Amino acid sequence: MHDLVVVGAGPYGLSIAAHAAAAGLDLRVFGRPMASWRDHMPPGMFLKSEPWASNLSDPKRSFGLASYAATRGVEARHGVPLPVGFFAAYGLWFAERAAPPVDERTITSVRPCPGGFRLTAEDGETVLARTVALAIGVMPFIDIPAPLRGLAPEQATHSSHHADLTRFAGQDVTVIGAGQAALETAALLAEQGTTVRVVARSGRLNWNTLPPPRQRPFGQSARAPHTGLGCGWKNWLYAETPGLFRRLPEETRARVFTSALGPAGAWWLRERFEPAVEVRLGESVAAAVPANGRLRLELIANTGRVETLETDHVIAATGFTPGLERLGLLDGELAGSLRTVGPTSAPEASAVFESSHPGLFLAGLLSAPSFGPSMRFVYGASYTAERLVRGVRRRLGAGGGGSGPRVTVRQRRGEGETVPTSAVS
């Protein structure tokens, strides 16, 4: 029985694995490394967060994004957006050096068993673990507006379903949403010759402004400090004090989770978007009906006015909401037993990211209703990994490990790099 199984190999899963391996835990990691960035974002997209706020976490902080950029002969500079492909490659580089080998199979079931958990892989193999960390990313939690849910994939999709937008060249596409995913998807579509419009229920589009220099006079920094979530003291509190956020009343946490850091486009996207994309503000999709090989949308304005339009395809860039009802891999009885955050269906997490079921730990978006907005971004991975592994060791006991083979990280001779290896403890 392993000390820990990490389910998921994105920034949170890999960071947890790096800290757990350094702690000497008997460890396994499942999932396709950096899958969201490799499989669910089209070429041409860029990171919205600053490079210095996009580091995966290892205990010695040896494998940050700047270190990877140096190996490529480039500089990860403040105020210069990086392609998502570059970030995905960084994650794979990190995985090779800081984390144990990743088993790319998908875990389809997690259920309690005596002494821990029984996990089932996609091919039917079972794995036993004393503790489990769910770092499953955002894909199980996609939000699609109700009028679009019964449509075929040829007619309506979520923005995360597309690693390639070229299938829409020459077509008419309607994008729903007002956040970065919606605006950047629309811009990319327009730039390849697609007729595209954005429909948003908000009355205006919000755009982030060019970030100020990292090094500023003290007075400017004191008024609006830099944080991994943007400038300002409110963002600083979200970014730097997740533990304090967790102490807020449940209803307050749930409200802030749904309202903080609302939809906005990156400053560098605006000049590409505005001349190229039609925008319909203050409107929502009330109905969507297939008609003559196309899709007829009924749009209702905030004023009550109703209009129809025809389009070839709808892309819902409408975000992600964590909830236990969407966690299909958890045993039903286990999922039903977990305590949730206030009025939401998201599981509550302790100060060390442990759910109300002993030994089941949560990371990433799943923990955001407990710890706040930083857990929706890569920036939260360091805080999570350090404390979650501390919680795992506490759950296992002061020794921190079992009696089986342990996954550790050793130094490659002469190369200054680390690679994972197995050693009998």
Q: Report pLDDT digits (tens) over 25-55.
A: 999 999 999 999 999 999 999 999 999 999 9
Mean pLDDT on 162-174: 96
Residues 344 and 378 occupy one common structural domain:
yes
Domain that holds residue 107: 2-141+320-423
| 326 within a domain of the structure (yes/no) | yes
Q: Is the pLDDT of residue 338 over 70?
A: yes
Does residue 258 have a pLDDT over 90? no
Same domain, 355 and 403: yes
Q: Is 383 helix (H, G, I), strand (E, B) or coil?
A: helix
pLDDT at 424 over 70: no
Number of domains in the chain: 2
pLDDT by residue (tens digit) across 103-120?
Answer: 999 999 999 999 999 999
Say how many Å lie between the first and final Cα of the chain, rounded. 14
* Burial of 172 from C-beta contacts in 10 A (0-12 / 13-18 / 19+): middle
Residue 222 lies in a domain: no
pLDDT at 343 over 60: yes
Same domain, 378 and 308: no
pLDDT of residue 420: 38
Asked if the structure places residue 346 within a domain, the reply is yes
More confident residue, 412 or 352: 352
Q: Are residues 193 and 289 in the same domain?
A: yes
Do 88 and 168 reside in the same domain of the chain?
no
Q: What is the pLDDT of residues 57-74, one digit of tens each?
A: 999 999 999 999 999 999
Instruction: Indicate if 310 and 369 belong to the same structural domain.
Output: no
pLDDT-based confidence at residue 402 (cuts at 50, 70, 90): very low
For residues 154 and 73, membership in a common domain is answered with no
For residue 254, name the pLDDT band (cuts at 50, 70, 90): confident
Residue 134 makes CB contacts below 8 A (sequence gap 6+) with 7, 8, 110, 327, 360, 361, 362, 363, 366
Domain contains 47: yes
Of 277, 300, 316, the one marking the end of a domain is 316
CATH number at residue 87: 3.50.50.60
Per-residue pLDDT, averaged over 415-422, amounts to 37
Q: Which of 110-119, 159-168, 214-223 has the lowest mean pLDDT?
A: 214-223
What residue type is 278 in one-letter code? Answer: E
Residue of 275, 214, 201, 196 whose CA lies nearest to 50: 214
Q: How confident is the model at residue 401 (pLDDT cuts 50, 70, 90)?
A: very low
Q: Mean of the pLDDT values across residues 364-392? A: 95
Confidence of residue 243 (pLDDT cuts 50, 70, 90): very high
Give domain status of residue 127, yes or no.
yes
Q: How confident is the model at residue 216 (pLDDT cuts 50, 70, 90)?
A: confident
134-150 pLDDT tens trace: 999 999 999 999 999 98
Give the closest residue to 320 by CA, choosing from 138, 159, 48. Answer: 138
Give buried/exposed letters for 324-342 (b at 16+ CB in 10 A, else e): bebbebbbeebbeebebbe
pLDDT for 100 equals 95
**Whether residue 8 is found in the same domain as residue 83:** yes
Are 34 and 108 in the same domain? Answer: yes
Q: Is 300 domain-assigned? A: yes
User: CB-based contacts of 148: which residues, under 8 Å, 6+ apart?
Assistant: 156, 176, 285, 288, 314, 316
Q: What is the dihedral of CA 221, 226, 227, 233, to 10 degrees?
A: 40
Q: Are residues 43 and 129 both part of a single domain?
A: yes
Q: Residue 366 — pLDDT band, cuts 50, 70, 90?
A: very high
pLDDT tens track for 11-30: 999 999 999 999 999 999 99
The band of 415, judged by pLDDT with boundaries at 50, 70 and 90, is very low
Percent of the chain exceeding pLDDT 70 equals 93
Say whether both 82 and 96 belong to one domain. Answer: yes
Judge if 291 and 326 occupy the same domain: no
pLDDT at 405: 43
Residue that is last in its domain, among 256, 281, 316: 316
State the average pLDDT for the chain. 90
**pLDDT tens by residue, 303-321:** 999 999 999 999 999 999 9
Predicted local confidence at residue 363, as pLDDT? 97
Strands (E), 34-144: 102-103, 107-113, 116-121, 126-134
Torsion 286-289-294-296 (CA) sign? negative
